[in-house]
Chain A
Amino acid sequence: MPRELLEKTGVTLRDAVADDAVAGVSPRWVALPETVEEVSAVLRACAEGDLALTPAGGGTKLHWGAPPERCDVLLDLCCLNEVLEHAAGDLVVRVQAGVTMGALAGALAAEGQELALDAPPEATVGGTLATAACGPRAFRYGAPRDLLIGVTVVLADGTVARSGGKVVKNVAGYDLGKLFTGSYGTLGVIAEAAFRLHPLPPARRWLVVADAARPRELAAALAASQAEPSAVELDRPGPGAPATMAALVEGTAAEERARVLRDAVGTGEVSPEPPAWWDAPPYEEVLVEARFVPSALDGVLAAADAHALRLRGSPVSGRLRLSPAGEISEERLAAAVAALRERAHAVIVLAAPYEGVDRWGPVGALPLMRRVKQQFDPGRRMSPGRFAGGI
């Protein structure tokens, strides 16, 4: 029966295989819609048959978050892959959610522009928004939600709704884009998105400080510099290992500004190339994100050391990704996370093969979040249980 409901939509359907599992939970079918209307048709069919579904973009981060309570359909958005409109003169682009960040970057670069998000090229626009993953340059350009100016979403009952638009300045109505950014597919499907773009910088330089003693002071000096770095990243490949810090400067006068930066902090090499670890995703089995105010860095580093974690991320935005140097048991992971939670504002276990670990920690405003979920997805069909507080 459910299968017939799905087939009736006319949307391409196939049986799921082992590879389609969402954090270990195997769906029964994979639906491959090609238009927003088809997404809506699939969601209506799921509503009729009470089928649970999980949206997927590139499928690179389906193991992030808790396993869903149930998953009948994997909604693969790979065929929604059109760049709908690139208004270069307006520094705005509208895309479908299945467009990969790499394809989008290529299209934009042809006009000398970029979407300043630093996402991996194989990730999709929808997946990048749904996970709200931040890259190094979030320090200057903001997180995905800050560059998003409009969205089209499809709700669990098939309703297609839009908010924002395709102009950078717009305060008409509530901003659903912000709400859906970081919602891990639990409120509905992101079908289309419009972004604010930036001109590609004429030049880039990195100031690399190989052995960054006193990283908090160094990061603070770099962040406060009027040479205005776009990003400051810290890499520590193992507990107790020396930390490397690198600052990215972008612009016409990048070389000169990087030297100003070096003179200001009195150390480091200026390079036209990033250090090898820059922006390279660790893709670990176990990955934890710590968020904190920059002055809390020392405490976070000490906790990472004590629990043998390596780390990389932005000491100036207050966001580090940490993973164990080798295998880690559930108990030891839980202890490490608990120690980090004493030092950081929030610690999220992005990926871990363990069911027992508290992935989100304390969640402020959880009652309100539950009410939002209840309004958007009263039938709990959208990736149920994947998100904070069992949402």
Chain B
Amino acid sequence: MIPSPPPSIAPLTAALRSALPGDSVITDPVRLRTYECDGLTHHRAVPAVVVLPETAEQVARVVRLCNEHGVPFVARGSGTGLSGGALPREDGVLIVTSKMRRILEIDLPDRRAVVEPGVTNLAVTEAVRDRGHYYAPDPSSQQVCSIGGNVAENSGGAHCLKYGFTVNHVEACEIVTPDGDLVRLDRMDPGYDLLGAFVGSEGTLGIATKVTVRLSRAPEAVTTVLAAFRSIEEGGRAVSAIIGAGIVPAAIEMMDALAIEAAEAAVACSYPAGAGAVLIVELDGPATEVEAQFARLRELCSGAFELRVAADAAERAAVWKGRRSAFAAVGRISPAYIVQDGVVPRTSLPRVLAAIDRLSAEHGIRVANVFHAGDGNLHPLVLFDDAEPGAGERAEVVSGAILDLCVEHGGSITGEHGVGVDKARYMPKMFTGDDLDTMQLVRCAFDPRGLSNPGKVFPTPRLCGEVPGVRKGVHPLVESGKAEQF
């Protein structure tokens, strides 16, 4: 039986219905179910209400109503998040941006585009590709994931080694603050860098309703190389050598034998047989520069038993195919798996991988390794059979121990998937109580009542003390997000 929404939500639901177009408020239990989880499917909660606003004004109205009724709210983009960040609250409202999908402005001379938060990552690039531009952050989920979700997670992608993350490519955001004001945060504004603090805050500091992204000029040349090594150690040595030589490739990705096996089973990517590891190295930039770097790269990969160079876009896509499909592909070789995300200093990669091997042997749990080798971002895929009693628990132990390894080596418990609900309990391994309390001062400034995506990121909420008085008449300039003269 699906429980009916708690009675306390009924007055809010009624208010939402009169504030939004009729089909924008969902309370039908069957439809609510479709929103019960994000990409991390083992955390589930059916929201009390789902709203599908079409404009920033409507988002602000919803948030103001939530405030009036003291009801928590959670933003959701495409629901591809892998840390349970968009996990709904059973006692709250889920604000879904799927009807906010317009690209509002493309300004090539100033290299920017203004988009609504529900626009997919790839749609931005597709809108400008034929004019020689693209949007640089490229999460593997880019066909589906939303720009709003990218902003919330500060998402990266294979090419962030050279080009940086979402935060480096966002020029401004219009947000609805947790008390329902529309405010514009712009990189060019004087004052505190609230934009920098907002990006990556996982929906806990408000909801992005408009995002101004920077567009990048397409590089003149791209060279993609697939290098196959007998062992992961040899692959790792090549990575160090490349970085040591002062080359910053657009991407350096690595897969181990088990990950290759899975990719072969799923998409027949035809990587060299017998490889203990493959490296994908992509160089891009001015043609002369890429040529010089490629010559160097060949020498540095002399340990490879096979080196393939993609001659054109189709061959490049073939090289990337195995890597891009890797997460889903392990489904072919294992009934169940956990996608982990941790970071270590690149130079500790060999030691950490050896330690993961030991963990795997000790617990009888296979681990396939796929990673952004250039920046030390590991995505171990912890494989188990959910039909086997105790296997899930053992996999959890291995997965958690991998995060411990990352912290021990001076790394991070998440490089791009975020903390969400999933990793909040690991935060104290990486940060002291003072660190976490200090971060939450920002939370208290934005969201003193703790209504915006509560229960995410921090293991224990901080009491914010005195709640600043809710402003009554907001100045029209502030309201429109423009400014306040001072």
Q: A293-B112, A369-B191 are in contact. List 8 more A-B contacts (CB 8 A).
A: A92-B345, A132-B193, A163-B435, A167-B376, A169-B415, A227-B286, A228-B285, A345-B189
Interface pick from A43-51, A73-81, A177-185: A177-185
Q: Which residues of A contact B377 (CB under 8 A)?
A: 169
How far is the CB of A91 from the nearest CB of chain B, in Å? 7
What are 12 A-to-B residue pairs whose CB atoms are below 8 Å? A159-B437, A168-B375, A171-B153, A174-B442, A178-B197, A181-B193, A220-B109, A252-B288, A292-B188, A360-B191, A364-B184, A366-B483
CA distance A256 to B191 in the complex (A): 41
Q: Which residues of A contact B347 (CB under 8 A)?
A: 87, 89-90
- Asked if A170 CB lies within 8 Å of chain B CBs, one says yes
- Asked if B45 CB lies within 8 Å of chain A CBs, one says no
Interface pick from B224-232, B238-246, B325-333: B238-246
**Contacting pair A365 B435 (CB below 8 A):** no
**Contacting pair A388 B434 (CB below 8 A):** no
Within 8 A of B (CB), among A32-84: none
For B164-179 the 0/1 string (1 means CB < 8 A from A) is 1101100000000100
Chain A residue, CB-CB nearest to B444: A375
CA distance A214 to B266 in the complex (A): 56
> Which chain A residues have a beta carbon within 8 Å of chain B's beta carbons?
87, 89-92, 112, 132, 142, 145-146, 153, 155, 159-163, 165-176, 178-179, 181-183, 187, 198-200, 202, 220, 223-224, 226-228, 251-253, 256-257, 260, 291-295, 318, 345-346, 348, 358, 360-369, 371-372, 374-376, 387-391
Q: Which 10 A-B residue pairs are closest in the complex by CB-CB distance?
A: A178-B196, A199-B246, A161-B438, A362-B483, A226-B220, A253-B288, A170-B412, A388-B191, A371-B445, A89-B347
Given A226-B217, A368-B183: A172 touches B486 (CB 8 Å cut-off)? no
Q: Which residues of B contact A146 (CB under 8 A)?
A: 164, 167-168
Q: Which residues of B contact A260 (CB under 8 A)?
A: 286
**Which residue among A178, A374, A387 has the maximum number of chain B CB atoms within 10 Å of its CB?**
A178
- Asked if B388 CB lies within 8 Å of chain A CBs, one says no
Q: Which residues of A contact B269 (CB under 8 A)?
A: none
**Contacting pair A179 B486 (CB below 8 A):** no
- Asked if B57 CB lies within 8 Å of chain A CBs, one says no
- Asked if B256 CB lies within 8 Å of chain A CBs, one says no
Q: Which residues of A contact B153 (CB under 8 A)?
A: 171
**Which residue among B160, B196, B200, B417 has the maximum number of chain A CB atoms within 10 Å of its CB?**
B196
CA distance A376 to B437 in the complex (A): 11
**Contacting pair B410 A178 (CB below 8 A):** no
Instruction: Select one of A132, A161, A367 contacting B434, CB under 8 A.
Output: A161
- Asked if B354 CB lies within 8 Å of chain A CBs, one says no
Given A89-B243, A89-B346: A364 touches B248 (CB 8 Å cut-off)? no
Contact size range, B: 35 or more
Within 8 A of A (CB), among B390-417: 410-417
- Asked if B130 CB lies within 8 Å of chain A CBs, one says no
**Contacting pair A365 B188 (CB below 8 A):** no
Q: Which residues of A contact B194 (CB under 8 A)?
A: 179, 365, 368-369, 372
How far is the CB of B435 from the nearest CB of chain A, in Å? 5
Q: Which residues of A contact B434 (CB under 8 A)?
A: 159-161
For B10-38 the 0/1 string (1 means CB < 8 A from A) is 00000000000000000000000000000
Given A87-B345, A90-B346, A376-B441: A366 touches B191 (CB 8 Å cut-off)? yes
- Asked if B305 CB lies within 8 Å of chain A CBs, one says no
Interface pick from B48-56, B61-69, B312-320, B425-433: B425-433
How far is the CB of A102 from the nearest CB of chain B, in Å? 22
**Contacting pair B412 A182 (CB below 8 A):** no
Within 8 A of A (CB), among B416-462: 416-419, 423, 427, 430-432, 434-439, 441-446, 457
How far is the CB of B160 from the nearest CB of chain A, in Å? 7
**Contacting pair B410 A167 (CB below 8 A):** yes
Given A169-B377, A224-B217: A176 touches B438 (CB 8 Å cut-off)? yes
CA distance A170 to B444 in the complex (A): 23
Q: Which residues of B contact A172 (CB under 8 A)?
A: 412-414, 419, 423, 427, 430-431
Q: Which residues of A contact B418 (CB under 8 A)?
A: 171
**Contacting pair B372 A169 (CB below 8 A):** yes
For B451-486 the 0/1 string (1 means CB < 8 A from A) is 000000100000010001001000001100111111
- Asked if B339 CB lies within 8 Å of chain A CBs, one says no
Instruction: Select one of A153, A200, A257 contacting B438, CB under 8 A.
Output: A153
**Contacting pair B189 A346 (CB below 8 A):** yes
Q: Which residues of B contact A182 (CB under 8 A)?
A: 192-193
**Contacting pair A226 B286 (CB below 8 A):** yes
CA distance A256 to B201 in the complex (A): 43
How far is the CB of B351 from the nearest CB of chain A, in Å? 13
Q: Which residues of A contact B483 (CB under 8 A)?
A: 362-364, 366
CA distance A340 to B376 in the complex (A): 45
**Contacting pair B482 A364 (CB below 8 A):** yes
- Asked if B156 CB lies within 8 Å of chain A CBs, one says yes
Q: Which residues of B contact A224 (CB under 8 A)?
A: 217
Q: Which residues of A contact B112 (CB under 8 A)?
A: 293
Instruction: Select one of A318, A365, A375 contacting B184, CB under 8 A.
Output: A365
- Asked if B306 CB lies within 8 Å of chain A CBs, one says no
- Asked if B60 CB lies within 8 Å of chain A CBs, one says no
How far is the CB of A340 from the nearest CB of chain B, in Å? 13
**Contacting pair B412 A389 (CB below 8 A):** no
Q: Which residues of B contact A132 (CB under 8 A)?
A: 193
Q: Which residues of A contact B201 (CB under 8 A)?
A: 174
CA distance A391 to B486 in the complex (A): 11
**Contacting pair B190 A346 (CB below 8 A):** yes
How far is the CB of B388 from the nearest CB of chain A, in Å? 32
**Contacting pair A142 B164 (CB below 8 A):** yes
CA distance A293 to B108 in the complex (A): 11
**Contacting pair A169 B376 (CB below 8 A):** yes
Within 8 A of A (CB), among B77-116: 107, 109-112
Q: Which residues of A contact B457 (CB under 8 A)?
A: 173-174
**Contacting pair B288 A257 (CB below 8 A):** yes
**Contacting pair B186 A364 (CB below 8 A):** yes
**Contacting pair A362 B485 (CB below 8 A):** yes
CA distance A360 to B189 in the complex (A): 9
**Which residue among B292, B434, B438 has the maximum number of chain A CB atoms within 10 Å of its CB?**
B438
